[in-house]
Amino acid sequence: MIGKTREYPKEIMILETIVRRFPPDDFRKAEFEKKLYRKRAGYKGEKTLDYFLAQIDHSEMLILHDLRIPINSTHFQIDTLLITINFLLIIDSKNYTGTLIFLPEFNQLIRILNDIEEVFPDPILQTKIQASQLKTFLEKHHLTPSPIEYLVAISNTQALIKNPTNDKEVSYRVFRSSNVAFKLPPFYQKHTQPRLSKNDMKKIARHLVKAHEPFVPDPKSMNLPFDNMVQGVQCPACEAFGMDYHQGKWTCISCGHKSADAHIQALRDYFLIYGPSITSKQFREFMNVGSPSTAKRLLSSMDLTFDGTTKGRTYFPEKNFFD
Ligand SMILES: [Zn+2]
C-alpha cells in the first residue's frame, strides 16, 4: 500500500519559473539552469525507482515516498521508506550517470564522466545517517522499535557501477533500481521476527506524514534580478512572452496562436517567484491587461480566494492551483 505519494517538488517548479523568466542576457541564468537540470535528474531517478517498486507485491507493506522530517533544528530526507512487519527499509535513489566508483574506505564515491573525475558524498553513508535519524525520531515519539535497513538505488541505466575493493557493504547495499524486487528477500531472511502489528505500521506512517515539511525555497533569498525578470503571458505554442488579451482570448504577438487560459500558467509563475498573493493592480501590470474589469473577470475565473473589498482585493491561490 502506498502511504504517501510523491509530489512534483515545489523547488523544481520554482526553478523552472526562474529559468523561464530570467533575463536572457544575464550570465547567471546558466547557474539556475544547471541547478534545475540536477534537481530534475534526481526527481527522475526517484520516479524510476517508484516504477519498479510499484510492480512488486506491496500489499503487506506501507510505502512512503518523499519525506522531509524536522529533527534537532535541521531536517532529514528519505526518498522512499518501506514499512514492513519485520523491518523498516530506507531506499535512496541516485540518478548519476557515468562511471561510479565506490571507495568505502574513505566514504567516497568517484564519478568519471567525459574524462572529468568528481568526488560525491558516499551515498551508503548518507543513507546510514538517515537510518540513525529515523531511529531517533521513532524513539522520540515512543514508536515501536524495529530494525532499520537501508539501500542505495542507482536509477540511471547509463551508469557503470564499480566496486574495486570488492567491498561487501557496497554489493549488499547498492543496486540497480530495476532489481529492487530481488533486494527485499534477503532482509526478510535476516529479520525473521515480526516486530510491528498492522496498527503499529500505520501509526509510524501517520507520525511521519504528519511531521513531513516539504522543502519550499524562498526566491527572495536567491538574489534574483526581480526588476528585470520577464513579465507577461507566455505563448504555449512558441514560448514567446507578451500575449495580448482581446475579446476573451490571448493572442501571441509572435506566432498568432490563440489561447483562452494562458494567464493561468503566468499567474502560477507570479505566485512562485513573487510570493503568495497578488492584487488586481499587480495582476494587470504583470499580465499587461489594461482594463480593471477584464482583470477582475480573469481573476474570478480561477481557483483563488481573496481578502478585502471589491476595490482593494488581494487574491491567493487555492491549494490545487498548482496541480
Ligand atoms: Zn506564439
Residue 31 lies in a domain: yes
Measured in angstroms, how far is the CA atom of residue 241 from the centroid of ligand 1?
A: 8
Note whether 60 and 103 are same-domain residues.
Answer: yes
Note whether 102 and 153 are same-domain residues.
Answer: yes
Note whether 115 and 250 are same-domain residues.
Answer: no
Measured in angstroms, how far is the CA atom of residue 153 from the centroid of ligand 1?
A: 41
Grid look-up 507570479 returns: 270
Measured in angstroms, how far is the CA atom of residue 266 from the centroid of ligand 1?
A: 14
- pLDDT (tens digit per residue) in 76-129: 999 999 999 999 999 999 999 999 999 998 999 999 999 999 999 999 999 999
Measured in angstroms, how far is the CA atom of residue 259 from the centroid of ligand 1?
A: 10
The last residue of one of the domains, among 162, 181, 211, is 211
Residue 240 has pLDDT above 90, yes or no: yes
**Beta pairing class for 249-251 and 258-259:** antiparallel
User: Residue 323 has what pLDDT?
Assistant: 83
User: Residue 50 has what pLDDT?
Assistant: 95
Residue 223 lies in a domain: no
Measured in angstroms, how far is the CA atom of residue 236 from the centroid of ligand 1?
A: 7
The beta-strand segments (E) located in the chain are: 2-4, 62-71, 74-83, 88-94, 99-103, 108-113, 116-121, 148-154, 160-162, 174-176, 244-246, 249-251, 258-259, 278-279, 304-307, 314-317
Cα gap 209→4, rounded to integer Å: 7
Measured in angstroms, how far is the CA atom of residue 210 from the centroid of ligand 1?
A: 44
Note whether 153 and 293 are same-domain residues.
Answer: no
Residue 287 has pLDDT above 90, yes or no: yes
Note whether 204 and 297 are same-domain residues.
Answer: no
Measured in angstroms, how far is the CA atom of residue 242 from the centroid of ligand 1?
A: 9
Query: How many structural domains is the chain composed of?
Result: 2
Note whether 22 and 81 are same-domain residues.
Answer: yes
Cα gap 240→78, rounded to integer Å: 39
Measured in angstroms, how far is the CA atom of residue 256 from the centroid of ligand 1?
A: 6
Measured in angstroms, how far is the CA atom of residue 258 from the centroid of ligand 1?
A: 8
Measured in angstroms, how far is the CA atom of residue 29 from the centroid of ligand 1?
A: 22
Domain that holds residue 245: 231-322
CATH of the domain at 248: 1.10.10
Confidence of residue 310 (pLDDT cuts 50, 70, 90): low
Measured in angstroms, how far is the CA atom of residue 238 from the centroid of ligand 1?
A: 4
Note whether 203 and 263 are same-domain residues.
Answer: no
